[in-house]
């Protein structure tokens, strides 16, 4: 049984210890690319940098899981912990075709291509590599892991899939076991780097690299956290959002009910308004997920104890809010035409003047949000491995972390909470309007159906109606009455 309290404490110590070390190894990695040194020394510097950053990233998610009391917030962080582990495996080992380009494969090739020491030592390196590789490959996961990562980072066209996965992500102990397995692999990889560099020194190769010192301690993150915590307004607002999480359950249940209703009546009565209601309920579910996720990660940012932890939480916030907003409204015209908001706009009745005016106001606010966001930053943050360059993305992510403007990002939280409130109110009004129209349309359809049944009944009452036809028509009338409840 995993001791989550001890793990949380060690994770906090880990982030504090590695925050400076990962900056140093980023500088070492970059400097070595320009120097005439053995390739394997460049690779060990890259591997050290990668696993230090990954460890910090996973630690920040794990700490967040343990700190929060709200069940939904804990599930959110568990999902992000799993997504982070998937990204870690992709960067270090790779999946399918990308595997040949990853750092772990490059180190294997370097060891096989040219011994870095005498044969006895080299044999020991191969044994150590194989032992670590066996442990790493056990963590590979399957297509479900990739699907869950995408549901966490990108949401889905049908938010019920995100809802179902969120219900599944409730076992912190299970997540802790996989997290610990990764930590064991990182320890082994660090040991391998140590042994390789020891062998290089035996051969007379210097492994000492002089770099300019750098630090993250002068960031604005912790002073901002202190100010917001003392002010209390934002923490109280976030807590209120997370306490109102029942809305997510309600909308998911409503979608199931409306979907079942649509299946029951679709063969008898054509009601396009039901499809509209499903789209709006799906949008409401998206909005409430977006709001809850934003509250969960912002709350964790406010609970950060070090600058490194705060930066990583803010990175996760940017990934979360950008993914949700791109799904809701989009960041470019070609995407915006396919978003949920575009679907909503298309279903507003032509004669619903007041609703159209409200939609236009919200549209303007959305456009301003688009102008104030950098989608490329989110893309870089979300991918530890760059598929285009086939290289690690960690140096670029670290640069972005150091350039973060926490004050500006927190201002976006306030703006987005207001926008979400407007959209929630708007969709509530729209769904009420569509429900009224659907009910009227249903009443009209029922009246037309009742008139048709009366005509059929009149045929059965005609003295010249053949007995077999009369029996058949009576069965039709009885079946329709049984389904619709119409009385004639």
Please write down the HEC assignment for all residues of 71-128: HHHHHHHHHHHHHHHHHHHHHHCCCHHHHHHCHHHHHHHHHHHCCCCCHHHHHHHHHH
Q: Which pLDDT score, from 0 to 100, does residue 1 have?
A: 54
Q: List for the chain the helix, strand, coil content (%; round to 5).
A: 80, 0, 20
User: CA nearest 288: which of 351, 318, 243?
Assistant: 243
Q: Which pLDDT score, from 0 to 100, does residue 260 have?
A: 79
Q: Which pLDDT score, from 0 to 100, does residue 4 have?
A: 72
Query: For residue 273, what pLDDT band results from cuts at 50, 70 and 90?
Result: low
Q: Provide the phi-psi class of 232: left if phi over 0, else alpha when psi is between -120 and 50, else beta.
A: left
Among 99-108, 314-323, 405-414, top mean pLDDT goes to 99-108
User: Which residues, in sequence order, are bridge partners of residue 386?
Assistant: 391
List CB contacts of 258: < 8 A, sequence separation 6 or more. Answer: 274, 277, 278, 281
Q: Are the beta carbons of 2 and 176 closer than 8 angstroms?
A: yes
Give the model confidence (pLDDT) of 192-203 as tens digits: 999 999 999 988
Give the model confidence (pLDDT) of 392-428 as tens digits: 999 999 999 999 999 999 988 888 888 888 888 888 8
Question: Can you tell me the mean pLDDT for 213-228?
Answer: 85
Q: Which pLDDT score, from 0 to 100, does residue 270 have?
A: 58
Pair of tokens at residue 388: 């285009």
Among 131-145, 254-268, 274-288, top mean pLDDT goes to 131-145
Q: Where exactly are the structural domains of the chain? A: 4-202, 221-330+332-372+405-440, 446-484
Is 80 exceeded by the pLDDT of residue 5?
no
Return the DSSP state at 214: -
Average pLDDT, the chain: 87
Interatomic CA distance for residues 375 and 377, integer angstroms: 5
| Phi, psi dihedrals of residue 385, rounded to the nearest 5° | -115, 130
**58 or 121, which is more confident:** 58
Q: Which pLDDT score, from 0 to 100, does residue 305 have?
A: 92
Q: Are the beta carbons of 308 and 216 closer than 8 angstroms?
A: yes
């Amino acid at each position: 049984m995993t001791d989550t309290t001890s793990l949380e404490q060690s994770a906090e110590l880990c982030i504090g210890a590695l925050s400076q070390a990962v900056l140093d190894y980023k500088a070492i990695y970059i400097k070595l690319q320009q120097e005439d040194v053995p390739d394997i020394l460049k690779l060990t510097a890259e591997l050290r940098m990668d696993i230090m950053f990954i460890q910090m990233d996973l630690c920040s998610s794990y700490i967040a899981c343990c700190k929060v009391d709200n069940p939904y917030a804990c599930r959110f962080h568990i999902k992000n912990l799993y997504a982070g582990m998937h990204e870690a495996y992709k960067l270090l080992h790779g999946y399918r075709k990308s595997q040949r380009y990853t750092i772990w494969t490059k180190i294997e090739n370097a060891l096989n291509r040219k011994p870095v020491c005498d044969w006895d030592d080299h044999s020991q390196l191969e044994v150590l590599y194989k032992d670590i590789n066996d442990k790493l490959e056990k963590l590979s996961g399957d297509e479900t892991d990739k699907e869950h990562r995408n549901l966490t980072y990108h949401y889905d066209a049908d938010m019920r899939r995100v809802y179902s996965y969120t219900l599944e992500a409730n076992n912190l102990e299970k997540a802790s076991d996989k997290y610990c397995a990764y930590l064991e692999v990182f320890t082994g990889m660090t040991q391998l780097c140590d042994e390789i560099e020891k062998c290089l020194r035996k051969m007379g190769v210097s492994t000492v690299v002089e770099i300019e010192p750098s630090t993250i301690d002068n960031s604005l993150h912790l002073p901002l956290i202190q100010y917001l915590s003392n002010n209390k307004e934002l923490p109280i607002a976030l807590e209120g959002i997370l306490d109102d999480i029942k809305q997510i359950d309600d909308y998911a249940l409503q979608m199931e009910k409306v979907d079942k209703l649509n299946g029951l009546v679709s063969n008898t009565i054509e009601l396009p308004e039901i499809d509209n209601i499903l789209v709006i309920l799906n949008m409401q579910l998206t909005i409430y997920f977006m709001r809850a996720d934003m509250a969960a990660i912002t709350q964790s940012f406010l609970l950060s104890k070090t600058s490194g932890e705060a930066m990583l939480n803010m990175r996760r916030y940017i990934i979360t809010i950008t993914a949700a907003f791109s799904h809701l409204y989009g960041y470019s015209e070609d995407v915006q035409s396919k978003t949920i908001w575009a679907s909503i706009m298309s279903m507003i009745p032509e004669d619903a003047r007041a609703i159209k005016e409200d939609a236009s106001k919200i549209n303007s606010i959305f456009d301003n949000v688009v102008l104030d966001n950098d989608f490329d930053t989110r893309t870089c943050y979300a991918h530890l491995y760059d598929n285009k360059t086939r290289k690690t993305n960690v140096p670029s992510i670290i640069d972005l972390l150091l350039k973060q403007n926490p004050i500006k990002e927190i201002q976006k939280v306030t703006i987005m909470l207001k926008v979400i409130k407007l959209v929630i109110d708007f969709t509530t009004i729209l769904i009420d309007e569509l429900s009224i129209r659907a009910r009227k349309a249903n009443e009209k359809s029922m009246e037309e159906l009742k008139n048709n049944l009366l005509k059929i009944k009149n045929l059965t009452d005609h003295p010249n109606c053949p007995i077999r036809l009369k029996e058949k028509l009576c069965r039709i009338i009885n079946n329709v009455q049984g389904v619709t409840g119409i009385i004639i």
